Amino acid sequence: MDYLPLFFKLNDRTALLVGGGQVALRKASLLTRAGARVIVVAHRIEPELVEMIEQHNGQVIMGEYHSGLLDDAYLVITATDDDQLNERVHFDAVERHIPVNVVDNQPLCTFIFPAIVDRSPIVIGISSGGESPVLARLLRAKLETWIPQGYSRLGKLVGQFRQQVKQTFSNVERRRIFWEKILQGQVAEKVFAGRDKEARALLTSALETADPDHQVGEVYLVGGGPGDPELLTFKALRLMQQADVVLYDQLVSPAIVDLCRRDAERIFVGKRRDNHAVPQDGINELLVKHALLGRRVLRLKGGDPFIFGRGGEELETLKQHNIPFQVVPGITAASACSTYAGIPLTHRDYAQSVKLVTGQLKNRTSDLNFDELVHPHQTIVFYMGLHTLPSLCQQLIAHGKPAETPAAIVSNGTRADQRVLTGTLSNLAERQAQAQLPAPALIIVGEVVQLHENLAWFGEEVLHNHGLILPDAHSA
């Protein structure tokens, strides 16, 4: 290591800041957040910087720097364009063994500022040793998205119980096991959800049992979206990384399953038409079984759990067994697949409403209100309707929808092998019989479909002679 990462305790200590511009303002912001008393010296000082220093009981000196200002300084930062001044401050500080940072001048620094992720009391510093500050900031941005703000409150909660836990568990190993379960279980999730009182109550209860192995399981019902891993939410990814058991569907892409915790037990419970790996009742039983064993169970579904995903049925079972759960929405196929196909579901010229319709009910029937579906100025999206496509088209026409109404099939939407077949209600079924686009697929009906020719963007080219969109060989 070129630098040893250290954390300075600056509460009520003096930090000397030479310079009064925007760079100095940024450094002053960090120093005051850490509780330092900041002395700023410069001939010209930004009004915002003056206000900040005065609000935090610091001192503003309009004038020349001199070495006497170092008498009470705990550390020194210089942020000026004057190279000679910067060097003088550096040598004065080094002579007195005071840590000094000269902004953007690594050779004159005895310490450097890292890129900071602040979840106080949790603070993460990222440094490139001055070689690539931009790279350090990019890494910080990634960590900002991966670490919820709730970690700040979680850290404070843990600090309040630390001494009690130490007294309860004299053995270091048992103490570690206890904290690992707390920090990866319901207490942490309650904090992240903003339910701090419940988190405190759970932590108190867990401590009173004095048993690190006593932990109630939980189920995470997570929407994995339509297939593209980059469409996952931050919360979904976090829960995927901490689950002990994963139950995943046929519609969840392998790339998304691979993002789950490596050592988690994985159970495939996918459903194809007339071929269910595990019946729905069996899935419900598995969720209950593993949760009662104290495990964190991830129920990973394609799309969104509450849009034709049977999420409600599974939660009803968990509720009956008093098993805690949380639900993470996913981008539903209608939104994602239409977007990747360049077909807006609404448009002021064509559609003012959208209807999401399932192709079949629980009893394998499809009792649809076609009179309602044929209203003008609306887009219809059929889930699980590929096998009844001829009937759907015929019924829509029979109930008054014009036969020339544009319609499309989006197969494997958002994935690298996405296919889009376009036509009208009168010929889409015939075209699909020739093209044989595979499931999973959505059917989109409405005037908005005609926009796809100009708006298709997902590495595709339109073959106008038969309305089939295939991947562009030049963008693969």
The first and second tokens of residue 417, run together, are 């092998």
Kindly report the three-state secondary structure assignment for every residue of 337-400: HHHHCCCCCCECCCECEEEEEECCCCCCCCCCCHHHHCCCCEEEEEECCHHHHHHHHHHHHHCC
Pairing outcome for strands 73-78 and 14-18: parallel
With beta carbons less than 8 A apart as the criterion, state whether 113 and 133 touch: no
249 is catalytic: yes
Q: Give CA–CA dist 277/195, Å, rounded.
A: 37
Active-site choice (156, 235, 244, 271): 271
Look at residues 366, 360, 221, 411 and name the one whose alpha carbon lies nearest to residue 302: 221
- Element housing 259 (H / E): none
Q: What is the spatial distance between Cα 213 and Cα 215, in angstroms, rounded to a whole number?
A: 6
The one catalytic residue among 27, 92, 228, 249: 249
Q: Find where tokens 């915002």 sit.
A: 48
Collapsing DSSP to helix, strand or coil, 441 comes out as: strand
Q: What are phi and psi of 324, to 5 degrees?
A: -65, 150
The C-alpha angle 355, 358, 364, rounded to 5 degrees, equals 155
**In sequence order, what are the residues at sequence separation of 6 or more whose Cβ sits closer than 8 angstroms to the Cβ of residue 394?**
none
Q: Is 278 exposed, middle or buried (0-12, 13-18, 19+ CB in 10 A)?
A: middle
Residue 152 in tokens: 């700040």
Ramachandran region of residue 19, left (φ > 0), alpha (ψ -120 to 50) or beta?
Answer: left
CA dihedral in degrees (135, 137, 141, 146; nearest 10)?
80
Count other C-beta atoms under 10 Å from residue 20's C-beta.
Answer: 25
Residue type, 9: K
**Residues designated catalytic:** 249, 271
